Structure 1
């Protein structure tokens, strides 16, 4: 039976396509050519083919003492075949399996994200005997023990969690903290580093404090795997419904059969009791909602995701790449002279650097001061000073660009009179100073700018009924507070690692909140899967997109209130279809016992109810969105 079960599971879509062809041919032969005996054979073949997977599922459910809807359908189909009602047997099994195929298609989830995360983890490392030793030995990461010394060079990954005991450099920690700006760390401060982060410049020796699965990156992998496994056990509505409905219908049919001695009547009860409109109506509503979302840049990965989104009352945001652009940009700038020559010189010098802050200076010069980047002054000499900045000669001018330490080394005074930059520092911006020929000419505050639509999107979420808006970030608390104040958030917490974000979400859930988390990076993975609903920005990492439940295409945060409205409309439409389906079954039972409904007329009512729920579901696709709010066409 296991082999047969695997065959039907692997070929379900092909089997349903074949059944659809048979049903269409049977209808054509029956009504167009009057060849009822041939159509009965086709209906019977469909019934037998569709019966096999239903029986297998029913038996498997009974092993766990669960009376499933598949058992009801199986008994009804077998009875219909016995008494010669081949069309009813064929149509019932076809509709049931068709509904499963539609739902499976929308609920298909990929686990390739786990593989991608694993591949991103460091595989080897260079081990040395002491902080000053340079005779490094390449070893597998599994061979590293705590307190081992490891040499990390420019462009390499840090293989373990640890502390720097020699050297300094800039580390790209986006894979762990999600922050776009490299952080300068050194042995002087015994700074901590994390496995999976990249050393963009410099050379360091790290003493391991955590290795393997105990590292922050290892915990990300572990949390994602656990949460993925826990989500696969979600039960569909029909399963919960059948827990009570199936035994009741079977019992009624049995009692009626025993009391009346009318086998045909008992089987008719079973056939009419199969909730065909429910089987097809629920997934069609969900598919219509998913289609409406896709049309408006919202990709929901299944029915349960829409249901969960409609119930959300708290939305937690990652900062970088979600509420903000995720790229360093000049947020504020002061030009301490009337001409723009300093910006031409600064852009020329910074174009020679690969540092992210340098790119922000060049882009600001191009967009704000209309400087032609293709025709910048020639740079004759450059010198990068690690941890400080860059010094260059540009058309005879001595240009120094960097932090306060660089200007101090160049003996350039920072006193700027009324040009106070303390507020920029309070906002967590990185200050970049540009000096030309020994004179301070430009001060730029560089940080992660808000998406243009962020403020409007959050306002619309509150209008839709979201009660609590929270931001979590690996960035400093000062930066987080500044952004939270601008956005009017209810809570904002900085300095968090990936597991901290997941723990915070779990804490909200213990308070009875229904939580959605919105993020875009690998570091957001634990939070995405810990939340009741994970929402990824479409231009984020493939891992975040794959393990999330909903994706906002083009990373447009303004699509979030749209997604929420679509989810609520879809759930409402689904409930309407459930009501229609249950009302149909009730009407059929009343009609059967009152004597005005028989198997043939009952199947006609069944098919009519199926048409009604399909048309009702398709109404979703005809609706338009007005400012993120679903409205009728």
Structure 2
């Protein structure tokens, strides 16, 4: 064991020594005309280089695995038997040097993991009765309060209990936008305080934090094999012994020992074995850099085949927060009337009323008047007395109860808002209608363009399932050009629709918030959570979009398709290389050393091909404003 560890540690040094000896051997033969020295030096080089290869082969054999190293080891023994020390030296050097290049290039495909782990906080400033104390992050317990100042990382998941500041949440969402955090706001481990200070009460620590779970998920995903990888693994188990048998048969029929040994060298299936996993690692790493967690190669395969996307409405296609989208005015003093409406609705916690209050704040409405008296009428609205004026604000029932009628223009405006699926609030002062508000759950930014891009990428059907009413649902569907919409659904009814779509032969992805829609997410071929890293979102879905953005969904789908295509390209390159070598062997233009060179080159080609995925962008990405960062490589 110690010897094996020593060899592993010094393999690069052995490779360097072997290369130097080969150069010295060549100089001995061609410069000094010393053939014996050439033979001795290359024989020594072969022995030095084959030792780590043979040790790996023996270790694999003990586990009943016929490895590539076994083929190379046997080939070197054969080369010694026929006295071709130059062949054995060059083959072993190329094999070791190829392994070195593989390890270096493969490291680049795992930059997402390295970048994430490098950003993991290691210390925390713990708030104690005596002040503060710098401790290891593993020593922080749930319920402890930590202090985070400007330029420092948040070490735990928690709730702000004092202070305020701007956080860069790129490590969680992949988006560099600064978020203001104040009292009672949630914060996540690994995020950076750009300005301000926060005292945070820990709710999740250590391996339970969102950031730690992201790292764990990406590591597990990169090790989870796709169908192509599983097939190749099974293929390799039989392929290596088959090459040994083929070499024996070649020798039995041709009595050409050199030819049989060359077959062993050319038969190494290196590019085939490494082609699929390196694509998988690079593709999942690309997603991780952008806040897209794809849970393994099998998910990538299935996601690439998806032809039907099913969406929840509230919190997925829409923001999940009601807002004033339209305000019709029938007065010359709209600002003051808006301030009056906000003042009255401020006494209520109804979502529609709060939407009006927020809208007034955004519009910088006039000075809010003093309310003399208010009365809330359940299910209708609010009556208020402001000086000598009587104000009524609410729905049509409220106006009917007070014998207030709308003129034809006002009635037309009201019907137009309702036809568009919006909730309406009407305000009248002394019996005259002054304002009509249209309030709706606003559609997420960029959804319409993103859905069009998904269609362009091969999605055939866009379906919305919602518990909301038919009018509102249809209005959203019309605006977004959805193919189907089904409203007034309970969670179990959504599941039934998903099952129907699958039974019809569609490959279905369900996109929801990862909590209320978890039954549908679980029943779809691919479940996608639009959420900022909640436990349920991470645990129940196949893909997590940490940004909760539709451009991220477009990127995830395009990335899955590109990763599968890249895998197929690598398999083709590997098979084409084997075919080229076999044809070269038959026609006599490929020999042992040259065959090994082509073999190692093919491995590097598939690795470099896969590395293109690290910086992959869809056509839609290239037209988006630059607002994400490469969090993993920061």
TM-score normalized by the length of structure 2: 0.62
Aligned to 1:319: 313
1:434 correspondence with 2:422:
no
1:513 correspondence with 2:528:
no
1:582 correspondence with 2:575:
yes
| In 2, Cα distance between equivalents of 1:582 and 1:480 | 52
| In 1, Cα distance between equivalents of 2:244 and 2:70 | 11
Deviation at 1:254, TM superposition (A): 1.7
TM-score normalized by the length of structure 1: 0.62
Please list, as runs of the form range in 1=range in 2, the aligned pairs for 1:275-290 lying within 5 A after superposition: 275-290=269-284
| In 2, Cα distance between equivalents of 1:474 and 1:99 | 50
Compared with structure 1, are the counterparts of its residues 279 and 398 closer, same or farther at alpha carbon in structure 2 (3 Å cutoff)? Answer: farther
CA contact (8 A) 1:519 1:537 kept: yes
CA contact (8 A) 1:96 1:279 kept: no
SS in 2 for 1:353: coil
Equivalent position to 1:413, from 404, 409, 414:
404
Aligned to 1:26: 14
Deviation at 1:361, TM superposition (A): 0.9
CA contact (8 A) 1:280 1:610 kept: yes
Aligned to 2:357: 362
| In 2, Cα distance between equivalents of 1:540 and 1:438 | 50
Deviation at 1:237, TM superposition (A): 0.9
Tell me the number of residue pairs that the alignment of Structure 1 and Structure 2 aligns.
477
Please list, as runs of the form range in 1=range in 2, the aligned pairs for 1:448-487 lying within 5 A after superposition: 448-487=441-480
**CA-based RMSD:** 4.5
Compared with structure 1, are the counterparts of its residues 605 and 441 closer, same or farther at alpha carbon in structure 2 (3 Å cutoff)? Answer: same
CA contact (8 A) 1:552 1:560 kept: yes
Equivalent position to 1:348, from 343, 351, 359:
343
SS in 2 for 1:496: coil
SS in 2 for 1:478: helix
SS in 2 for 1:354: coil
CA contact (8 A) 1:103 1:302 kept: no
SS in 2 for 1:522: coil
Deviation at 1:461, TM superposition (A): 2.8
Aligned to 1:572: 565
Can you list the C-alpha shifts for 1:466-522, whole angstroms capped at 9, x where unaligned?
Answer: 222211112122222222223332211112233332332222222222222222241
| In 1, Cα distance between equivalents of 2:100 and 2:58 | 9
Equivalent position to 1:254, from 232, 237, 245:
245
Aligned to 1:210: none
| In 2, Cα distance between equivalents of 1:254 and 1:290 | 38
Equivalent position to 2:333, from 333, 339, 357:
339
Q: Which has the larger radius of gyration?
A: 2
Can you list the C-alpha shifts for 1:382-431, whole angstroms capped at 9, x where unaligned?
Answer: 5555544445566776554434455566x353544432233433444323
| In 1, Cα distance between equivalents of 2:518 and 2:262 | 51
- 5+ unaligned residues in a row in structure 1: which ranges? 5-14, 60-69, 108-231
| In 2, Cα distance between equivalents of 1:381 and 1:71 | 88
CA contact (8 A) 1:477 1:494 kept: yes
SS in 2 for 1:433: strand
